[in-house]
Amino acid sequence: MKCLILLVCVVLAESIHRVPLTKHKSMRQTLREQGVELPYQDPALKYQRGNEFVGSANMYINNYADTTYYGAISIGTPPQSFQVLFDTGSSNLWVDSVKCNTQACNTHTKFNPNLSSTFSANGKTFYLPYGAGSLSGTFAYDNVNVGGIVIDHQEIGLSTNEPGQNFVEAKFDGILGLAYPSISAGGQTPVVDNMMSQKLLNQNLFAFHLSRGGQQGSELSFGGVDSTKFQGPINWTPVTSESYWQIAVEGFRINDRLTGWCSGGCQAIVDTGTSQLTAPRQVYYDLMDAIGAVEYGYTGMYVVNCNEMNNLPTLHFVISGVSYPLPPSAYIQTHQEPGYQYCSVAIGATYLPSQSGQPLWILGDVFLREFYSVYDRADNRLGLATAV
C-alpha cells in the first residue's frame, strides 16, 4: 500500500565568496568526501540568541512522481544527512545503516554510528511491516535535525535487514513516522512527541502542502501553518483514535447523489505515506461502476477513456459537516507510453475495517494534494483547507 530521493545542499556563500587557490578545504567539502552531506542551514542562524527563533520551521520536501514525498534530515554529530519519507501513517523513525548489507540498504545512504560523537546504543531490536516491504533493526539514540529543529537524544531505528526488492528502488533512506506513539514499534518515542516534550514548538502541530503533477514546491511545517499554501478557513474535525490520524466520515457523494455508503458511519486514516485514495472493499466495485471504470485485464488496475475525463463525477467526502470535493483531475492519472496513452483510476480497495468495525477509507496523497492538512497534537484534531 505504501508507495514507497539526493538533495544536494549548496551553500551559496561558499561558491560566491570562495577565495581562488585556497590551500584549505571547507568542513562541508571534507565531510562530503567522506560521504557525509550536510543539509543547508541559514548562515543567519548564528545571530540568534538562546531559543529566540526555535519553535517553527517550514521545510521544502521533494515530490517524486506524485507517489512519494520525502526530504532531508540529519542525524548525529557531525551531522549525517538522509532522505526520509514523511509518513503520517506510521510512528517510527528509522534509516539505513552500515549494519545492513542487503541490496535495499546498499543502494542508499547508510548511517555510521562510529562517525557520531553523540551516538549511544540501547540494545533493543525491532521489526516493522509496511503495506509494501518490511525491515528489522536495532534502536539507538542520537541528535536529530528536522528542518532546523534539533531534537536531543532521539531514539532512532537502524536497519540491519531489509529483505526483498520493495525498498531497493525507493527514493529515500528511511521513514520518519508522524502518527501517535501508541502504534510505535518497540515503544519508540516519535519525533513529534520529543519535539513537544523538549518544548521545541510554538504550537504542538505540523502541516503538509503536497504539490501536484510531479512538480516541486511541497512543504512540511512544524510548529505553525503556512497561510500562503491554502485559502479559506481551516475546518477542524476530532481524531477518533489516537493511533493513526483517524477521523470520522459522515457521508460520501458522487456528484450530487448521496450514496448512503457511510450512513452508519465510516472512518478514514489521513496518510501522507499512501499514494492512492482507498475505498472500503464493500463499496469499491460500485464506485468503479459509478466512475465508469473497467478493469484492465486481470491486473486489478481500473482505467477510463481519457477523452471522457471532463465527464467523470466529482467525489465528495462529508467530514464534520463540510464537503470536500475530489474532482476527476485528482483521482485519474494519465500515463504516456510510446505511441499511446491511457488513464487509470488512482483508487484502490481497503480490505480491513477500522477498529470500530466501520468501513475504512484511506485518504492518501490523491486526497491530500487537494487539501492543506494540519495535524494538531495539542487538541487531537485534524484541520483541512483548500490547497493553493
* pLDDT digit string, tens, across residues 14-30: 333 333 333 344 444 44
**Cβ proximity of 69 and 110 under 8 Å:** no
**Cα separation, 71 vs 59, whole angstroms:** 8
Q: Which residues of 182-208 are buried (b: 16+ CB within 10 A; e: fewer)?
A: ebbbbebbbbbbbbeeeebbebbbbbb
Percentage, residues of the chain above pLDDT 90: 79
* pLDDT digit string, tens, across residues 282-294: 999 999 999 999 9
- Would you state the pLDDT for residue 28? 44
Does the pLDDT at position 189 exceed 60? yes
As a whole number, mean pLDDT of residues 348-377 equals: 95
- Could you tell me if residue 118 is left (phi over 0), alpha (psi between -120 and 50 degrees) or otherwise beta? alpha
pLDDT band at residue 350 using 50, 70 and 90 as cut-offs: very high
- Would you state the pLDDT for residue 298? 83
* Domains parsed from the chain with CATH numbers: 12-222 (2.40.70.10), 227-387 (2.40.70.10)
What backbone phi and psi angles, to 5 degrees, belong to 78? -65, 160
Nearest to 318 by CA among 231, 384, 223: 384
The active-site residue out of 96, 142, 271, 376 is 271
**Cα separation, 317 vs 371, whole angstroms:** 12
pLDDT band at residue 246 using 50, 70 and 90 as cut-offs: very high
Cis peptide before 78 (omega within 30 of 0): yes
SS3 (DSSP) at 299: coil
As a whole number, mean pLDDT of residues 87-99 equals: 97
Q: How do beta strands 245-249 and 302-304 pair?
A: unpaired
* pLDDT digit string, tens, across residues 308-330: 999 999 999 999 999 999 999 99
- Would you state the pLDDT for residue 54? 58
Does the pLDDT at position 244 exceed 60? yes
pTM for this entry: 0.85
As a whole number, mean pLDDT of residues 34-52 equals: 42
Does the pLDDT at position 252 exceed 70? yes
The active-site residue out of 87, 96, 142, 365 is 87
pLDDT band at residue 33 using 50, 70 and 90 as cut-offs: low
Q: Is 271 a catalytic residue?
A: yes
Percentage, residues of the chain above pLDDT 70: 86
- Would you state the pLDDT for residue 304? 97
Q: Is 87 a catalytic residue?
A: yes
* pLDDT digit string, tens, across residues 111-122: 999 999 999 999
